[in-house]
């Protein structure tokens, strides 16, 4: 054969384990010889037949990977779904918690500046997000190539039992944990800011006589509501109404504390270096955010709960069809 074939075969063999090279060398050359002979018999010139045969075989590196059963992807289809769900959980649960904790620490640190807090939050998102994505993907790539734990991750062969039921149901365990984690963080922030980070707490210390215990109780009730919903196993009218009442009462209580100057500590230094009074815009902004958050909470839970409770049909965009489950 020509040096062109030798170059092609040698290029492919470089990526083949040494103990397999002799067999694959013979097999590949025989395959090329047969293909070239067939093209020559059909009337092609010999050199043209060689070139067309090698072009048809394609990239020798990819061909070598096929011979060696070496994956050409970082994460294969068997693990991709698990990887995607795991990444979604990390970026929607773990990353926000880390960012909130870092923002709270920055707020309660010495001489907090709005620009520094925002910049720190963005930096945390980029840094922590990059680490979560890199190390998670690296772990799955190692599992893909070594096979260690692969069967446990993919959960065995797929069956009809794996189809989602799409029936009216309550929140999953992961959603319940998320519902509980945020109230716990808020309660921890209220308590910790009184005793650490700064000599002067951000929230009005006078509130510990009544206001803060009441607020902590309302926040704890939200966590208990999530546990109740999870244990109930289904949306009920009582659960939906309880959330609406709790959200409205908590929101109204927060607005009252903010509007009556009972929320933030006036003794805290709210003045920036250029003389701007941060409290003059933080308070109105907090009131607006509280109102919007309350309305969103009530609307989101009510709509979601009623649709699940009544088993309303689901419209699938692009099909023109509706599907009803349950």
Concatenate the DSSP letters of all residues of 174-211 into one string: HHHHHHHHHHHHHHHHHHHHHHSS-SS-SB-GGGGGTH
Are 19 and 103 members of one domain? Answer: no
Are 140 and 221 members of one domain? Answer: no
Are 139 and 76 members of one domain? Answer: yes
Q: How far is CA 260 from CA 213, 252, 263, 283, in A?
A: 18, 12, 8, 10
With H, G, I as helix, E, B as strand and everything else as coil, classify residue 277: strand
**pLDDT computed for residue 217 by the predictor:** 94
In a domain, 320, yes or no: no
In a domain, 17, yes or no: yes
Are 308 and 234 members of one domain? Answer: yes
- Count structural domains, the chain: 3
Query: Angle at Cα 256 formed by Cα 254 and Cα 257, nearest 5°?
Result: 65
In a domain, 164, yes or no: no
Q: What is the mean pLDDT, run by run of 10 residues, along the chain of 326 residues?
A: 78 81 86 90 89 86 74 71 84 83 71 71 88 88 73 61 59 78 84 72 86 92 91 86 94 93 84 73 89 93 81 59 58
Are 76 and 63 members of one domain? Answer: no
Domain ranges, residue 41: 3-67
Residue 255 to residue 34: CA distance in whole angstroms = 83
Enter the tokens of residue 311.
């088993």
In a domain, 162, yes or no: no
- Which of 154, 178, 195 is at the close of a domain? 154
Are 46 and 25 members of one domain? Answer: yes
In a domain, 201, yes or no: yes
Are 186 and 56 members of one domain? Answer: no
- Which of 67, 98, 121 is at the close of a domain? 67
**pLDDT computed for residue 3 by the predictor:** 80
CB of 55 within 8 A of CB of 39?
Answer: no
**pLDDT computed for residue 173 by the predictor:** 75
Are 216 and 244 members of one domain? Answer: yes
159 DSSP assignment: -
Are 78 and 150 members of one domain? Answer: yes
3-state helix, strand, coil in the chain (%, to 5): 70, 5, 25
Are 238 and 308 members of one domain? Answer: yes
200, HSE (Cβ side, Cα atoms, 13 Å)? 10
Cβ neighbours for 282, distance < 8 A, ≥ 6 positions apart:
264, 270
Are 57 and 95 members of one domain? Answer: no
Q: How far is CA 57 from CA 2, 31, 32, 262, in A?
A: 16, 10, 9, 77
- Which of 104, 129, 154 is at the close of a domain? 154
Are 9 and 87 members of one domain? Answer: no
């Amino acid at each position: 054969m020509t040096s062109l074939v030798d170059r092609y075969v040698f290029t492919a063999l470089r990526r083949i384990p040494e103990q397999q090279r002799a067999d694959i060398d013979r097999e590949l050359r025989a395959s090329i010889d047969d293909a070239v002979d067939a093209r020559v018999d059909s009337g092609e010139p010999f050199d043209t037949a060689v070139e067309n045969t090698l072009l048809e075989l394609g990239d020798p590196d990819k061909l070598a990977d096929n011979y060696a059963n070496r994956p050409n992807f970082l994460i294969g289809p068997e693990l991709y779904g698990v990887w995607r769900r795991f990444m979604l959980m990390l970026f929607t649960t773990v990353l926000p918690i880390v960012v909130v904790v870092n923002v709270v620490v920055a707020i309660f640190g010495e001489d907090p500046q709005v620009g520094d807090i925002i910049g720190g939050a963005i930096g945390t998102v980029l840094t922590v997000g990059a680490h979560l994505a890199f190390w998670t993907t690296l772990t799955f790539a190692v599992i893909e190539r070594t096979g260690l734990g692969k069967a446990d991750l993919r959960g065995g062969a797929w069956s009809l039992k794996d189809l989602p039921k799409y029936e009216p149901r309550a929140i999953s365990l992961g959603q319940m944990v998320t519902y509980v984690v945020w109230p716990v963080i808020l309660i921890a922030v209220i308590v910790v800011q009184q005793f650490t980070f700064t000599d002067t707490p951000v929230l009005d210390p006078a509130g510990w006589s009544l206001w803060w215990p009441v607020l902590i109780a309302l926040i704890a009730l939200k966590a208990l509501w999530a546990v109740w919903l999870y244990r109930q196993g289904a949306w009920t009218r009582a659960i939906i109404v309880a959330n609406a009442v709790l959200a409205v009462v908590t929101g109204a209580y927060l607005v009252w504390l903010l509007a009556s100057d009972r929320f933030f500590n006036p003794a805290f230094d709210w003045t920036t270096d250029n003389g701007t009074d941060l409290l003059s815009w933080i308070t109105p902004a907090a009131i607006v955010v509280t109102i919007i958050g309350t309305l969103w909470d009530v609307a989101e839970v009510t709509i979601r709960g009623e649709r699940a409770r009544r088993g309303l049909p689901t419209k699938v965009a692009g099909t023109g069809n509706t599907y009803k489950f349950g």
